[in-house]
Amino acid sequence: MSKSEVKHYLKSGDTNKNTNNSMSRIGKQEILIPTGVKVTQSGNIVTVVGPKGTLSKNFRDDIAVTISDKVINLNTKRNDKFSKSLWGTYASHVKNMMSGVQNPYQKKLILEGIGFKSEVKAGGGGKEFSFALGFSHPVIVKIPEGITATAAKNNLTITGVDKELVGSFTASLRALKKPEPYKGKGMRYEGEIIRRKQGKKTV
């Protein structure tokens, strides 16, 4: 869990009781291990191996993870608000990990604008994006390990087994050139609707 998530749960007080209860219900559910997926645990590290890759995540010891042949159970070690919040969050993490190693997650970006270009090329120690975004210099972004990326006619596709990594990397690319509200030029998600503003009228 990130620092921002921890701060959110600590600051939320008693106003999020319904959220905690719903998370507890998620945590109580048995998680079935799909055929072809193997889940192991070493200390606080849970590892999921599937046909499309391997994922490992370090879980806090607030939650007890029990793995049998085909089922995973999660239980809180303490009956406090923070543990209950982690309970549902970690259950979702495990499900996402098992889903990702079977069917990798994918996000798409569209780069629009005259003179804007994108390409994937080999860089130092791996592949990287090279963007022309209207600056005086190209913007180079290294593609992290575990991510497969393509750029065809300014349509970018980001694929990987780690849902969080795919989402965060795609968001970081979009932040390089956020779509502006007048002509929509910039980087946007596929299917994203940009609220347009009317330009100044000439007298």
> What domains lie within the chain, and their CATH numbers?
3-100 (3.90.930.12), 105-189 (3.90.930.12)
Place of tokens 């999020």: 16
pLDDT at 9: 47
Per-residue confidence band for 138, with pLDDT thresholds at 50, 70 and 90: very high
Place of tokens 């239980």: 75
Per-residue confidence band for 127, with pLDDT thresholds at 50, 70 and 90: very high
Chain segment 16-55, per-residue pLDDT in tens: 444 444 445 666 788 999 999 999 999 999 999 999 999 9
DSSP assigned state of 176:
G
Instruction: Please compute Rg for the chain using Cα positions.
Output: 21
Count CB atoms within 10 A of the CB of residue 173.
Answer: 21
Sign of CA dihedral 170, 176, 179, 181: positive
pLDDT at 16: 43
Residues 6+ apart with CB under 8 A from 80: none
Cα(184)–Cα(174) distance, integer angstroms: 13
Two tokens, residue 191: 């299917």
pLDDT at 88: 85
Mean pLDDT across 178-201: 82
Residue type, 95: K
pLDDT at 108: 97
